[in-house]
Chain A
Amino acid sequence: MQDGAPPGSERAGRTCRKGEKRPMLHEPAAKSGADPAFLYKRRLGAWMFTLYAVIYAGFVIVNLTSPGLMEKTIVGGLNLAVVYGFGLIVFALILALIYNRACGRREAKLRSAAGQGGRA
């Protein structure tokens, strides 16, 4: 993509937004085009955020209400604090990968449905 060249993009801005005094206003850094998967991604993102927030809140609540539980050995000699803490970090990555895969699939599907596979 050669859209990094600013003079070009400025010209494009001018033609797109006639009548605007300031050509650079509200123009994205790159032409990513309309994103038909936007609503899907926003909904999925909100759900995954909520799921993670609940599990994170669970961690904070256990610490506040029964901190003694955190010293209990859970698995392989590791206590709940370590397992839950590492778990939160690993779970973030797993959720992120699932999200990326789902978004990528939906984007590809909508692109091919719209028959414009060339536009990234």
Chain B
Amino acid sequence: MNILSIILFVLFVAFVLGISFYFAGRAKSASGYYAAGGRIHWGINGIAFAGDYLSAASFLGICGMIATAGYDGFLYSIGYLAGWIVALFIVAEPLKRLGKYTFTDALDANYNHRGIKLMAAISTLLVSICYLIPQMVGAGVLVTPLLGLPHAVGVILVGLIVITIVATAGMTSTTYVQFIKGALLLVFSLVLVTVVLIRGLSTKPDQGGRVPFREYRTLTATEAGGSLVLEDTAWQIAAVREVKTLRFVKLLRDGRESWWKVEADAASGGLKLLESQFTARLADGSQVVNGAPASKDNILSQAGNMETIAGKTGPEAETGSLNPAKYLSLIGDSRTRIKLWKNTSFSDNGSKVTIYYPVFTTGNKILRPGQRFKVEGTATDRIDFLSLMLALFLGTAALPHILIRYYTVPSPAAARKSTIVAIAAIGFFYILTLFMGLGAMTNGVVNLLDDNMSAPLLARSFGTFLFSMISAIAFATVLGTVSGLIIAASGAVAHDLLDRFAKVIKSDKQKVYAGKVVAFVVGALAMVLGIIFKGVNVTFLVGLAFAVAASANLPSIVMMLFWKRTTARGITASIFVGVTSSIGLILFSPTMYELYGKDPLTAPFPLKNPGIISIPLSFLTLIIVSLLSRSKAKGAAPAAV
């Protein structure tokens, strides 16, 4: 916690609330509240799209994944950006032309069918909530190091600020908050990448002299008669553990425990022991870090560095400033060796030990898929990869908080132009993510407990100002995205359900009031979920939201526009099947089984990503039900305009 962070943070929040109060007058009508009166300039809307889209998952999650798994994290960047092609070429203009406030409007425009209104509103609400959870969890993650507040306080703080933004000025203030946040995120990410390139690469990164480079020790050993013999007799072997194919030893020296990873040493033909980091929860509940009681000063060291750069090491490997292409080519060189950290847990004499051990990976393996997604693995692994890439591609154009942004501009042409500005801004940002992630990987800044903080910690290695700025922007990222999601949810309930479906809304004013009440309720729900889901992987939850959105919404949008025989019942059934199958498959997936504390291998559904099953299933349902209902009742609505 430092004064500058707090000042910047307070300024940001004051500014954001100022915008809300300034625009409060424009939110008195339903059009003003839900669609900013349709008066936003396409350029501003385009950057606001970037603000909406580049959520905590993009900024914190992708950079963190690249920092720990290399190119595999960048696959998310590629997929998230590709999704905008669907948004631009298929969805943007028709959605603007057919709808008024919500995605349901557009879908229902040619049918006026209660089933569509109900199902589309429910799917909007569910997808928004799935997407809200990781944002709120992200808020807690950020506030803890920034302001020294506990997770729950961070979540409640975000919740209260967002409810104020949304309830005072709805979509207008949200749009301007997103515009400013999107622009700041782009500018400061560019600044961060620039200083990373100027610093260049080194095998002993010391965070610009701020944190001395930590050298990890290596011991040599031999195997005699099935047991290890250490060359240096000052160390005593206390325990040997085998975890799958890995072998670890616990050593004692001067009464202090340490864990080491055992590896074959090709040079000597013997064995070598690599110093690892570890945490242990003892039987009495106390925490130990690296052999000493955990405290504010005794925490896991930040890690990640290059051992050799294109075959060189030590001072002669120092590169000085590099251009972007040279930076990537040196990291991706097959003679480059990068030290990554992985972890594994087991119990040792009643205490639960988690070891963080080094894994040396050559550069050519870092800059291609395979570290996280096993593209060379089993058939299931590869189908999983395909499923993820499919959901990312088709998910964007089905996200409710993105879709409602098409109603803030005056015309379909403006909707199209703002999408192009969004593609330019978001594409540029995603290119930067590769440099930020690799920068974190090689600059010794990765927090082994939580890779989500990689980008802000990389910024901290350049001084407090950049750290405070990047953290404040990351916080604003959460604020903005949460506001957009709450408006989407509030539109789904007040406009789609209460007004269009249940017909209980009597006036324009009442609809705005209902929207604000819903914003408050959804905001409160988001706070509760943000606290419950503390510690759950942010990126995983966002991937879930993409898969649900792509399965529930995309088939009906596409088929409504391109298949004349689509019927209202077909759309209703498709959304229902899309939502239930995607959420159902996720609940029975290995990832969820791990969360339940069961063996992931026993999960009934073998894939982590449901998209490859649930998206085609939703399409198929739409086609079959449309054909059946059409043959029953001739004369259903014609295709779009």
Which of A35, A48, A120 counts the most B-chain CB atoms under 10 A from its CB? A35
Q: Which residues of A contact B115 (CB under 8 A)?
A: none
Q: Is B325 touching A71 in the complex (CB atoms < 8 A)?
A: no
Q: Which A residues are CB-close (under 8 A) to B112? A: 25-26
B410/A63 in contact, CB under 8 A: no
Given A30-B38, A78-B332, A89-B431: A3 touches B410 (CB 8 Å cut-off): yes
> In the complex the two chains form, what is the Cα distance from A81 to B78 in whole Å?
11
B81-A89 in contact (CB<8A): yes
Q: Which of B153-161, B196-204, B414-422, B539-547 contacts A (4 or more CB under 8 A)?
A: B414-422
Q: How many B residues have CB within 8 A of the partner chain?
A: 74
Contacts of A103 in B (CB 8 A): 413, 416
Q: Which of A24, A46, A64, A89 contacts B78 (CB 8 A)?
A: A89
Enumerate chain A residues within 8 angstroms of B369, measured Cβ to Cβ: 63, 67, 70, 81
Is A92 a contact of B427 with CB atoms below 8 Å? Answer: yes
Q: Judging by beta carbons under 8 Å apart, are B367 and A45 in contact?
A: no
Q: Which residues of B contact A88 (CB under 8 A)?
A: 78, 81-82
- In the complex, whether B561 has a CB less than 8 A from a CB of chain A is yes
- Contacts A4-B38, A67-B368, A92-B81; is A60 near B389 (CB within 8 Å)? yes
Interface string of B19-33 (1 = CB under 8 A from A): 000000000011110
How far does the alpha carbon of A79 sit from the alpha carbon of B366 in the complex, in Å? 11
Provide the residues of chain A in CB contact with B427, threshold 8 Å: 89-90, 92-93
- CB contact between A56 and one of B77, B82, B411 (< 8 Å): that residue: B82
Contact A64:B503 (CB < 8 A) given known A7-B29, A89-B427:
no
Whose C-beta in chain A lies nearest to the C-beta of B374? A67
Chain B residues with CB under 8 Å of A73's CB are 329
**Residues 21-51 of chain B, each 1 if its beta carbon lies under 8 Å from chain A, else 0:** 0000000011110010111000000000000
Encode B362-391 as 1/0 by CB contact (under 8 A) with A: 001101111000011000001001100100
| Contact status A70-B37, CB under 8 Å | no
Answer yes or no: A100 CB below 8 A from chain B CBs: yes
For window 1-35 of A, CB contacts with B under 8 Å fall at: 1, 3-7, 9-10, 22, 24-30, 32, 35
Q: Using a CB-CB cutoff of 8 Å, which residues 59-105 of chain A contact chain B?
A: 59-60, 63-64, 67, 70-71, 73, 76-82, 85-86, 88-90, 92-93, 95-97, 99-100, 103-104
Q: Is B595 an interface position by the 8 A CB rule? A: no
- Alpha-carbon gap, A89 to B428, bound state (A): 8
- A110, B367: Cα distance in complex, Å: 49
Nearest CB of B to A114, in Å:
16
B564 within 8 A of A: no
Complex Cα gap A27–B38 (Å): 13
Known: A7-B29, A32-B96. A64 touches B367 (CB 8 A): no
Q: When the two chains form the complex, which single residue of A7, A45, A79, A96 contacts B364, counting CB atoms closer than 8 Å?
A: A79
B260 CB within 8 Å of chain A: no
**B584-618 to A contact mask, C-beta < 8 Å, 1/0:** 00000000000000000000000000000000000
Task: Flag if A4 contacts B98 (CB, 8 Å).
Answer: no
**Bound-complex Cα distance A77 to B381 (A):** 30
Q: How far is the CB of A39 from chain B (nearest CB, A)?
A: 9
Q: State how many residues of chain A have any CB contact under 8 Å with chain B.
A: 59
Contact: B31 with A32, CB < 8 Å?
no
User: Which residues in B have their C-beta under 8 angstroms from that of A59?
Assistant: 78
Chain A residues, Cβ within 8 Å of B332: 71, 77-79, 82
Of the candidates A29, A81, A97, the one having the most CB atoms from chain B within 10 angstroms of its own CB is A29
Give chain A nearest CB distance to B598 CB in angstroms. 29
Question: Which residues from B are CB-within-8-Å of A10?
Answer: 508
Interface pair A6/B88, CB less than 8 Å apart: no
| From B35, B97, B100, B410, contact of A1 by CB (8 A) | B410
Shortest beta-carbon distance from B637 to chain A in Å: 12
Known contacts A56-B82, A77-B329: A28-B90 contact under CB 8 Å = no
Q: Are A92 and B85 in contact (CB under 8 A)?
A: yes
CA distance A7 to B31 in the complex (A): 10
Interface residues of B in 532-572 (CB under 8 A from A): 561-562
The answer to whether B99 touches A29, judged by C-beta atoms less than 8 angstroms apart, is yes
How does the 8 Å CB contact mask read for A38-55 relative to B, with 1 for contact and 0 for none? 100110011011001100
Q: Which of A6, A60, A107 contacts B29 (CB 8 A)?
A: A6
Could you tell me if A29 and B101 are in contact, using CB atoms closer than 8 angstroms?
yes
CB neighbours of B434 from chain A (8 A): 82, 85
> 14 A-B contacts, Cβ less than 8 Å apart?
A1-B39, A28-B97, A29-B99, A29-B100, A29-B407, A32-B412, A45-B88, A59-B78, A76-B325, A77-B328, A95-B85, A96-B424, A99-B89, A104-B413
7 other A-B residue contacts (CB within 8 Å) besides A4-B410, A29-B100 = A53-B393, A64-B375, A78-B329, A79-B332, A81-B369, A93-B427, A96-B419
